[in-house]
Amino acid sequence: METQRVEKIRLDPIKNLLKVPVDEYYVPGHRTCAGCGPALNYRLVAKAAGKDTIFVGPTGCMYVANTSYLCVPWAVPWIHAQITNGGGVGSGIAAAYEARIRKGKYKGKFPNVIVMAGEGGASDVGLQSLSGAMYRNHDFLYICYDNESYANTGIQTSPMTPYGARTTFTPPGPAVPEGKKLWPKDLARMIVCGHPSVQYVATASIGYPIDLMNKVRKALNREGAAFMHIHAPCPKGWGFPTDRTIEIAKLAIETGMWTLWEYENREYKINKETKKYKPVSQYLETQDRFSHLTAEHKAKIQNFVYQKLATLGIKVPAKAVAA
């Protein structure tokens, strides 16, 4: 059988804000909330990936709020996936291009295939689909944009909703004073630990756009499956003013509630080390979803954050927290 070479697209690193491409592929015409973190994330990812991209959108905010009245806000191809099967749909598109290019049925380069799944679709109902795709190592990037709840359906708890957060399925009350009682999954590390073929896994935040965009490019340049977990605050779900999205995204990193790292060449690298972490209470106090928490609940969260940082090899000084 005569086969054709499957040629990949190469994307160069972005050195600074002035070098960010001006072209937009996530364009006006959607109806996300003011201050929406996931929408900003979409815009940055689309800029970084460029025109030769196919997006897959499992059901979630970035499906429902983006596509209305038979219209979509992408200047590149996009397809809806069920909330259950972002990994499978990404796999299918990658497989189709592998076969079609190899068999001479498609003239062109292998496109950037990006699944943009909410953390519920990624870590909960669609976890099997994600894991299957990572295991098979299809050439695509799976992004979990994390707004820490099933927000599209009205802010219900997901496996990544933090302990103590109020959602419409974890309302605090006299019998359950903390609201959410469970501790969140650590999806990115689950991908690293359980999927030996995957060569690139990274976390990112909309508070650090250059870091985010360069990670997207790195992930796409690699052959095989890559995974990114991107923190994207949600004003409506978390209860903060719409002009504070970026500030809260940064505060998450400054308090250790979120960490920027990448896993490459079988090693973890912390991208933004913080010399002195601020107390998590500073972060919790910015959001209405934590307003019912007692000092005891907050101390539990502080402890959890220390443990999480320690698993990444980050040393937290004993006196890091004054309060």
Partner 1 sequence: MQAKKFLTGLSAAAMAVKMADVDVITSFPIRPYTGVMMVLSQMVANGELDAEFIHADGEHAQLSIAGAASAAGSRTFTGSSGVGVTFAMENYSPISGGRYPVQMLIADRTLDPPGDFGSEHTDALGCRDQGWLMGWAETPQEVFDNTLMFYRIGEDPRVRLPQFNCHDGYFVSHIPGEVQIPEQSQVDEFLPPYKPVNPLDPQNPVGHGPQIYSDQGPALEAMRANAMMASMPVIEEVVDDFGRIFGRKYPPFVEEYMTEDADFVFFISGAHAHTARYAVRHLREKGAKVGLVKIRFIRPWPTDDIAESLSKFNAVGVVETNTSFGIARGGGILGPEVCASLYDAPQRPLIASFMAGLGGEAITLDDFYFMAKKLSNIAESGRLEKAVYWMGFEE
Site residues, partner 1 (CB under 8 A): 1, 3, 51-54, 56, 63-64, 67-72, 74-82, 84-85, 87-93, 95-100, 102-103, 105-106, 108, 111, 128-129, 131-132, 135-136
Which residue's CB is nearer to partner 1, number 194 or number 241? Answer: 194
8 A C-beta contact, residue 74 and residue 116: no
Instruction: Return the C-alpha torsion angle 132, 145, 202, 24, nearest 10.
Output: 110
Min separation Cβ 67 and partner 1, Å: 3
**Closest by Cα among 212, 219, 230 to 90:** 219
Min separation Cβ 197 and partner 1, Å: 13
CB within 8 Å of 263: residues ≥ 6 apart? 188, 192, 200, 201, 202, 269
The amino acid present at 81, given as its one-letter code, is A
Min separation Cβ 26 and partner 1, Å: 12
* Alpha helices (runs of H) in the chain, residue ranges in sequence order: 37-49, 61-64, 86-102, 119-123, 127-136, 187-194, 209-221, 235-238, 245-254, 280-284, 295-311
Min separation Cβ 173 and partner 1, Å: 34
Which residue's CB is nearer to partner 1, number 106 or number 183? Answer: 106
Residue 181 buriedness (CB in 10 A; 0-12 / 13-18 / 19+): exposed
What DSSP assignment string belongs to 167-181? BTTB--BTTBTTS--
Min separation Cβ 256 and partner 1, Å: 34
Min separation Cβ 69 and partner 1, Å: 5
Min separation Cβ 37 and partner 1, Å: 21
Min separation Cβ 46 and partner 1, Å: 12
Which residue's CB is nearer to partner 1, number 106 or number 268? Answer: 106
As a 3-state breakdown, the chain gives helix, strand, coil percent values, each rounded to 5, of 35, 15, 45
Total count of residues recorded for the chain: 323
Which residue's CB is nearer to partner 1, number 90 or number 207? Answer: 90
Which residue's CB is nearer to partner 1, number 44 or number 81? Answer: 81
Instruction: Return the C-alpha torsion angle 148, 151, 154, 156, nearest 10.
Output: -30
Which residue's CB is nearer to partner 1, number 46 or number 212? Answer: 46
Which residue's CB is nearer to partner 1, number 43 or number 244? Answer: 43
Q: How far apart are CA 308 and CA 305, in angstroms?
A: 5
**Token code pair at residue 129:** 């689909």
Which residue's CB is nearer to partner 1, number 78 or number 163? Answer: 78
Task: Specify the residue for token string 């990448």.
Answer: 262
